[in-house]
Amino acid sequence: MPMDLQRRHFLRGKVGTHKQPTRMPWLIDIDQFSSTCTQCEQCITSCKENIIVKGDGGFPEVNFALGECTFCGDCASVCPEPLFNQSDDKAPWDYRASINNTCLTYNNVSCQSCQDSCEPRAIVFEYTIGKPPTPSISSEACTGCGACVATCPSQAIDIQLPTA
C-alpha cells in the first residue's frame, strides 16, 4: 500500500506547513512518484553532486542547500522502476527559481551571489539610482538547477514549480 504523505503530515500536525519536496529530473509523473518508488536509494548513491537525500517517508528528494543539479541523468539511469523519461526533446523538469523578500538587496544590502553562480545567466540585476541593484529571474532562461540556492546568504531563493 503506498504511503499517503498528506495523511502523514496531518497526523504529525504539519497541515499546510509542508512544502512539496523537489523530486529528481525527468520524472514521468510527480503525483505518482510515492506510489511507484521502492526507496531503493540507487538514485541517492548515484548522484555525483550529493544533492539527492532521503526525504520525508524515506522517499528521495533534491536538497539544493547542498548544491546544484547538473542534469547528468545518473539518478534516472539507475532507477529500476519506470519513473523517468530521459528524451533529448524534453526539459528535465518545470522547476524554476524564485526570490522572496528576505533577499538582502530588498533590505538595502548589496549582494549578487545568486547572479554569480547562475551559469545560464537567468538572474540579472537591475540598477537604480540610490539603491542596491535588485534581482530579476528570467523564467525562460532558468533551468531550475538550484546553483543559486546554496550561495544565497539570506536563503531567499527557492526552487519550485510555477503556480498556475
Q: Residue positions in the annotated binding site? A: 37, 40, 43, 47, 69, 72, 75, 79, 142, 145, 148, 152
- Residues in Cβ contact with 18 at an 8 Å cutoff, skipping those fewer than 6 apart: 9, 56
Round to whole Å and give the CA distance between 122 and 157: 13
DSSP letter assigned to residue 14:
-
Round to whole Å and give the CA distance between 113 and 101: 16
Residue ranges for the known binding site for [4Fe-4S] cluster are: 37, 40, 43, 47, 69, 72, 75, 79, 142, 145, 148, 152
Phi/psi of residue 127, each to 5°?
-90, 140
CB hemisphere CA count around 81 (13 angstroms): 18
Round to whole Å and give the CA distance between 68 and 64: 6
- Residues in Cβ contact with 149 at an 8 Å cutoff, skipping those fewer than 6 apart: 64, 65, 68, 97, 157, 158, 159
87 and 70 Cβ atoms separated by less than 8 Å:
no
